[in-house]
Structure 1
Amino acid sequence: MSTSKPPVPVPLLMVIGIVAISFSSIFIKWSAAPVSVQGMYRLLFTSLLMLPFARPYTGAAAQLRLKDWLLLVASGALLALHFLLWMGSLRYTSVASSTMIMALEPLFIMIGAYILFKERNSFLAMLGMAVAIFGVVFIGWGDIGLSADNLKGDLLSVGGTIAVAGHLLLGQRLVVRMPSYLYSLIVFVSAALVFAVYNLITGTAFFAYPAREWGIFVLLAVVPTVFGHILFNWLLQYVSATTVSMNILGEPVGASILAFLLLGEHLSGLQWAGGVLVLAGLGVYLYSGRKKTLELEEALPSAS
């Protein structure tokens, strides 16, 4: 982590990032194109925006092993699966329900890290996970009262969250051997190609869309991806991953407010209760992670 300060205050950049990613679900709801096409062009246009800045990383790319390339493609495939399921969930359930369930991402990562890397967590982290999962049950229960389609959307969002957790676990293993920019670019290109193959197999049209849809594809690439996810990755130079991960709590809140203002979506009492439990559980989980980090830093000998 760099000891220098970014040219813009970190809190302002965090707010910009949270607002940007909160627009993702709104753009998806506005589009009438198949979600596989939305995902393909979102990743393709993001990759094209990144390519002009990729020249310094050609040497690192040449040093990648076959195993690295296979893992990168697997990470891209999981990212594509995440977008396919999560974006698909928004066709059936509310923005609030879908994004609140998506906020469970760090908890699925915790489970995956324990299974794959035997990473252990504190009782406080486990308690936070239990509260958040209980909150998802509340959201699903509230959606059952609306329609079976709402519950289908919730299940798709859960599947998308599991897929992105696998994508991030692979990323955790890969970024120690390559620049994060190179990792992101290769994974985005891989995911776009996976979507292209999927669209070819399913006979989904690539180009027969009005200008409004192409505008939404560009917005998906620029707003939530460049000013959201890539901005958060860049901020890791200046703040801890725990601090950056707080955006996970901000997205469902921001997306729910935008969905109310722009889409007229309303939540039931059970959905509100479930959302509060999810955010409270994640708050406990993130606090436990920050506390563990501080304890480790205090245990290390001073560098002075």
Structure 2
Amino acid sequence: MRALNRFAEMKRKGEKIAVLTAYDAPQARAQEQAGIDAILVGDSVGVNILGYSSEREVTLADMAHHTRAARRGAPDTFIIADLPFATYDTPEQAAASAKFLQQAGADAVKFEGAFPDLVQVLGTLGIPVCGHLGYEPQHCERRVHGKTLEEATKIFSDAKALDEAGVFMLVLELAPAELAAAITRAIKAPTIGIGAGPATDGQVLVFPDVLGYAEKNFRHNRRYAEVGATMRASAATYLSEVRAGLFPTLANGSTMPAEVLARFEAEILERRG
């Protein structure tokens, strides 16, 4: 509850909220040490870490596994875990799925779409909910959503409905900056943008995108490192050194004490004799 109040207070004061995705203990540990406000264990783990073709392939077991790992790495940071595709189709299913992720270490859950009834059901169970509107990776094509009057009006109305139902935070993904700004002004919950302009109350990015794991980049992203290039270069250098006999050297291991080696060699010679 203290964290939820803190996020609300940050919105009130105009302090930006910094969120990143994390999928394992080292990523989460680095983010906690940096002071990140909240960690999102997103279903983006599927395409970024697990090699799936889409977020739809991510299972509840996958999400629990990676939530536990992130919690071990960041014991003191607020963690939001995604409810994966087809795990919140009914209030009963949503409740069971959310409890499972809560037991895995999540402080809150996030789901896509305008389902205020689910927000209320989970709220009665003491499970905070983060909403997600605009581009919804589980449900629609990757593009900016809200560029037509019809889409913009619906997203705005959906945001209001989720806010009234009690979401503590709302992710707006690939939405026009003007729409995101209007929603941010209109609702109580802090808005967290990703490709939704600078006027939201905070931002979230996918950590592998931030680190530059892949050669492909996205317009909404900013790469703060080129870890992918470093990984490829490191693997290539390792390969060449192993094949050339340059690695390992004796310095990379250990040797026998001289007296033990002498006795060992004598024993070997005696056995051969």
Fold shared, TM-score > 0.5 on shorter chain: no
What TM-score, normalized to structure 1? Answer: 0.25
TM-score by length of 2: 0.27
Which protein, 1 or 2, shows the higher relative CO under an 8 Å CA cutoff with sep ≥ 6? 1
Answer 1 or 2: which has greater strand percent.
2
Highest Rg: 1 or 2?
2
* Structure in which a larger fraction of residues adopt helix: 1
